[in-house]
DNA sequence: CGTTTTATTCGGCATTGACCGAATATTTCG
DNA sequence: CGAAATATTCGGTCAATGCCGAATAAAACG
């Protein structure tokens, strides 16, 4: 607990590129914390844990990959907590695990900073899988309902088919979104806005 | 607990339009349960509770608005649970609260069956609000960093601006999506696929 | 192959959240 | 306005989750 203020209480942590400790300039640190705080909030809203937002935020501002130990220092969480959090963040494609040549087994992490990339991966894997499962359930339900000749069955059938149409559209949308490059999609968006 | 099988254990619940009890045709009921089960799963995946998926599913298959008491019967949950669940589902724009003329205070609910509608409302309210909050945090961070003349600040500034660009795009996307009718967007999607 | 370094898993505690039934508030109707 | 019908809130219980530190496993190194 009391995680808000103790982020850099360990004092002289060696810094990545500029070489200086990063709690020197209080304004810079305040700016970072502002953004990281917003990320924590976002994480919470989108169904994740605040800690994930925090950890992602820490990574976001580091130029070079960060080791597990350094992350535990910077975040204030226990190593085990960070380890499991990293596993989840990796599954969400929000961070990447790196290994650094001279550093043995040590694991390093870096933030994926292109959100569109993250969204695409999520669509490709999680969302697509959900659509597939739903589609299978709908198909099976449709077959059962077609077999049963019943007034009740007719009404349900209509509703099931409505769902099938919507999920079909969803699937096509996902295909388009995951099949295009970021550039193509942004230019498309621009065109859209002007039309 | 044991929610899977006890949905219609109360026997003769009066049925809406067709007039017949709906656990007569086991095939029809099985089809429904298949779909409702998939909805429960989906709810879970998208960060909601299984019970919400279940309640939505029950509503989805009813032609006419359903009262709280009937929902309680059909779902097996306590009235208080259903009440709070409905409040949340309303906030998510997944169900609408209706009042029926002759029925006094009694509240009725019906499912919003057009998912795109749901998504648009969600974008318009929740997502937009999140984007706004993040944007404010980023602006403030940017100002602080512009004030501090520091090598460190430069690097952070770059990253903050990167976030601002991404969220700016996100906002424009949300605007386009919420500003267009379903028809326009589906036809657009079709065009997109063919290009 | 043992030792060292590092990551992961596990058991346990504290917090949170879901759900319930009872109590309370609100609305409608006579 | 009082009584009846209905919805909501509240306190409590149980399960799930987050987080920790210790124990274990896995990998790299000499």
On whether both B141 and B177 belong to a single domain, the answer is yes
The verdict on B67 and B144 lying in the same domain is no
pLDDT tens, chain A, 195 aa long? 334 333 333 333 333 333 334 455 788 999 999 999 999 999 998 889 999 999 999 999 999 999 999 999 999 999 999 999 999 999 999 999 999 999 999 999 999 999 999 999 999 999 999 999 999 999 999 999 999 988 899 999 999 999 999 999 999 999 999 998 889 888 888 888 887
Examine the domain organization and report whether A131 and A180 are in the same domain. Answer: yes
Task: Measure B179 CA to C25 C1' (Å).
Answer: 40
Q: Domain for residue B11, yes or no? A: no
Domain presence at residue A18: no
Between chains, do B150 and A25 touch, taking CB under 8 Å as contact? yes
Q: What is the DSSP string of A103-145?
A: GTT-EEEEE---HHHHHHHHIIIIIHHHHHHHHHHHHHHHHHH
| B102 located within any domain | yes
- Among the listed residues B77, B48, B75, the one whose alpha carbon sits nearest the alpha carbon of residue B59: B75
CATH assignment at residue A97: 1.10.10.10
**DSSP string of A20-87?**
S-TTS-HHHHHHHHHHHHHHHHHHHHTTS-HHHHHHHHHHHT-SS-EEHHHHHHHH---HHHHHHHHH
Q: What's the gap in Å between the CA of B57 and the closest CA on chain A?
A: 11
Q: Quick check: A137 and B38 CB within 8 A?
A: yes
Angle at A61 between CA A55 and CA A64, to 5 degrees: 100
Question: Which tens digits make up the pLDDT trace of B136-173?
Answer: 999 999 999 999 988 899 999 999 999 999 999 999 99
Per-residue model confidence (pLDDT) at position B149: 84
Q: Tell which of B80, B111, B142 closes a domain.
A: B111
- What range defines the domain where residue A47 resides? 26-111
CA A157 – CA A149 distance, rounded (Å): 11
Size of the A and B interface in Cβ pairs below 8 Å: 155
If one counts the domains in chain A, the total is 2
User: Which among A111, A140, A168 is the end of a domain?
Assistant: A111
For chain B, how big is the Rg over CA atoms in Å? 23
In a domain, B130, yes or no: yes
- The last residue of one of the domains, among A111, A137, A159, is A111
CA distance A168 to A111: 33
Specify whether A31 is located in the same domain as A79: yes
Cross-chain CB nearest to A28 (options B37, B145, B193): B145
**Closest residue to C20 (CA, C1′):** B78
Q: Is residue B21 part of a domain?
A: no
Residue A12 domain-assigned (yes or no) = no
Say yes or no: A40 and A80 in one domain: yes
Distance CA B52, CA B36 (A): 11
Q: Is residue B18, in this structure, part of any structural domain at all? A: no
Q: Residue B133 pLDDT more than 50? A: yes
């Amino acid at each position: 607990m009391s995680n808000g203020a103790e982020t850099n209480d360990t004092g002289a942590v060696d810094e990545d590129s500029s070489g200086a400790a990063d709690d020197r300039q209080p304004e810079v640190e305040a700016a970072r914390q502002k953004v990281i705080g917003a990320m924590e909030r976002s994480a919470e809203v989108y169904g994740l844990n605040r800690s994930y937002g925090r950890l992602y935020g820490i990574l976001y501002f580091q130029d070079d990959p960060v080791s597990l130990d350094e992350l535990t220092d910077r975040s204030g969480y226990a190593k085990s907590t960070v380890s499991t959090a990293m596993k989840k963040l990796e599954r969400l494609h929000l961070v990447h695990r790196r290994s650094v040549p001279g550093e043995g087994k040590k694991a390093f992490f870096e933030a994926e900073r292109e959100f569109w990339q993250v969204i695409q991966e999520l669509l490709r894997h999680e969302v697509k899988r959900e659509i597939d499962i739903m589609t299978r359930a709908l198909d099976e339900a449709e077959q059962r309902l077609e077999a049963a000749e019943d007034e009740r069955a007719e009404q349900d059938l209509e509703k099931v088919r409505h769902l099938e149409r919507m999920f079909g559209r969803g699937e096509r949308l996902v295909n388009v979104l995951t099949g295009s490059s970021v550039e193509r999609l942004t230019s498309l968006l621009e065109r859209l806005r002007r039309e």
